[in-house]
């Protein structure tokens, strides 16, 4: 087994790291304070080829493997988890994955190509107020009316929902009472900005404040049948495929945030002196730093392994779920260690560790909660 990154991957890592530090970092404080997403990053990143990098070159992507995408996600999350979630996890992942994997050529030209260029922004609408972990209990309906679908319902906690140009919406195209098995009859239909009856309300969050999140409303939204992704009623499989890729990405998100927390804690512990010596030299703090470094290494290796399996076309649902569990739970512990090392200063908003600590909590709540991922892993293990 080769644990070394390729020369191309190292070059790419250095490039995206430099971009994140020079172009994104200066925007973070204002974006977090005003709770707005810096949308100017989309065309900028599109022009540089940093959006949808796993997609085919003929659509504008770089056609790289999942490991390379995880490198990008880790570097972005080291600088700002909120902005990283906007451009990589949601736009380049959830919002476009099903179109890339199941969409028609016309849909790819209309949605995927401009998304990769940063000309259109994507979201993904699955969760509802009463259908979170039990996603297939969703109530949003799409009823056929000639050559159109009429969509009614609402969605909750939708990233990019306030400004997206298009959003694949999970809805029942078959009356749930008529299906024989739960989850049958779900479809993904792309709703576009400006369609009458489609609206959004911005939500306020504790963390990831630069990542705008919304509740979406669909009131008799008329959508042409050409916006149906794949085969009608087969949306559940599309959703599961999308989530599998996303759970691996969350390993990279957690790794990036944990690495940023470690870097801050390491620097502070070597600058801060108490009782005549650096606090890093006190054994209890030395143990904390080593513990953080050790678990970050494990998180990164687990992420790369799952990403490699995904790129090889192997069944990696078990590994994706286990990675999501381990990485997003462990990052909670590591954030507390980093916060402890900062003492009272760590609780102050002037210090970046406070934002990282708040942002990290979202990771084990979204893309499948920890209990849901335990259940999914158990299924894969035959338990």
| Angle, alpha carbons 188-379-137 (nearest 5°) | 35
The strand pair at 198-203 and 166-172 is best described as unpaired
Look up residue 321 and give its DSSP letter. H
Find, among 125, 144, 131, 215, the residue nearest to 185 by Cα: 144
User: How many CB atoms are located within 10 Å of the residue 56 CB?
Assistant: 14
Contact status, residue 376 vs residue 331, Cβ threshold 8 Å: no
Helix residue spans in 229-275 (DSSP H):
235-271
Backbone angles phi, psi at 78, to 5 degrees: -65, -30
Lookup result for tokens 């999970």: 170
At 16, list the tokens: 């995206």
Cβ burial of 361 (10 Å; 0-12, 13-18, 19+) is middle
Q: Which two tokens stand for residue 90?
A: 């949601």
* Distance from C-alpha of 23 to C-alpha of 43, rounded to nearest angstrom: 13
User: What is the Cα–Cα distance from 297 to 294, expressed in whole angstroms?
Assistant: 5
| C-alpha distances in Å from residue 265, one per residue of 26, 45, 129, 328, 342 | 21, 30, 38, 19, 7
Structure token pair of residue 76: 């972005």
**What letter does residue 6 receive in the DSSP assignment?**
P
DSSP 139: -
Rounded Cα–Cα distance for residues 157 and 153 (Å): 14
Among residues 32, 273, 367, 380, the one annotated as catalytic is 367
Residue 32 annotated to the active site: no
Task: Mention every residue, 6+ apart, whose C-beta is less than 8 A from residue 290.
Answer: none
Alpha carbon distance 108, 102 (integer Å):
9
C-alpha count within 13 angstroms, C-beta hemisphere, residue 54: 26
CA distance 167 to 99: 10
Annotated catalytic sites, by residue?
Answer: 367
């Amino acid at each position: 087994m080769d644990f070394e990154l390729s020369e191309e991957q190292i070059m790419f890592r250095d490039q995206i790291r430099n971009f994140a530090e020079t172009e994104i970092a200066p925007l973070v404080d204002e974006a977090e304070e005003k709770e707005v997403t810096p949308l100017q990053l989309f065309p900028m990143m599109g022009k540089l080829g940093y959006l949808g990098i796993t997609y085919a070159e003929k659509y504008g992507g770089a056609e790289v493997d999942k490991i390379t995408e995880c490198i990008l996600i880790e570097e972005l999350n080291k600088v700002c988890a909120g902005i990283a979630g906007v451009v990589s996890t949601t736009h380049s992942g959830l919002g476009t994955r099903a179109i890339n994997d199941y969409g028609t050529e016309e849909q790819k030209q209309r949605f995927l190509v401009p998304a990769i260029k940063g000309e259109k922004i994507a979201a993904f609408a699955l969760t509802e107020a009463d259908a979170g972990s039990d996603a297939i209990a969703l109530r949003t309906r799409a009823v056929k009316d000639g050559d159109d679908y009429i969509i009614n319902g609402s969605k909750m906690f939708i990233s990019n929902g306030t400004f997206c140009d298009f959003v694949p919406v999970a809805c029942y195209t078959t009356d749930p009472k008529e299906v024989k098995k739960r989850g049958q009859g779900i479809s993904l239909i792309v709703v576009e900005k400006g369609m009458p009856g489609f609206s959004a309300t911005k939500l306020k969050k504790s963390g990831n404040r630069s990542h705008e999140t919304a509740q979406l409303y669909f009131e008799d939204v008329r959508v042409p049948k050409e916006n149906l992704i794949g085969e009608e009623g087969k949306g559940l499989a599309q959703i599961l495929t999308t989530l599998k890729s996303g759970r691996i990405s969350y390993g990279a998100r957690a790794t990036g945030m944990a690495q940023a927390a470690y870097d801050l804690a390491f620097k502070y512990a070597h600058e801060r002196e108490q009782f005549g010596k650096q606090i890093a030299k006190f054994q209890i703090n030395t143990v904390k730093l080593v513990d953080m470094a050790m678990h970050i290494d494990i998180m990164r290796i687990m992420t790369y392994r799952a990403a490699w399996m995904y790129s090889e076309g192997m069944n990696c649902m078990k590994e994706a779920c286990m990675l999501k569990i381990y990485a997003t739970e462990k990052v909670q512990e590591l954030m507390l260690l980093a916060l402890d090392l900062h003492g009272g200063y760590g609780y102050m908003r002037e210090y970046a560790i406070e934002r990282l600590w708040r942002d990290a909590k979202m990771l084990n709540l979204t893309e499948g909660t920890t209990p849901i991922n335990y259940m999914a892993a158990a299924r894969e293990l035959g338990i």
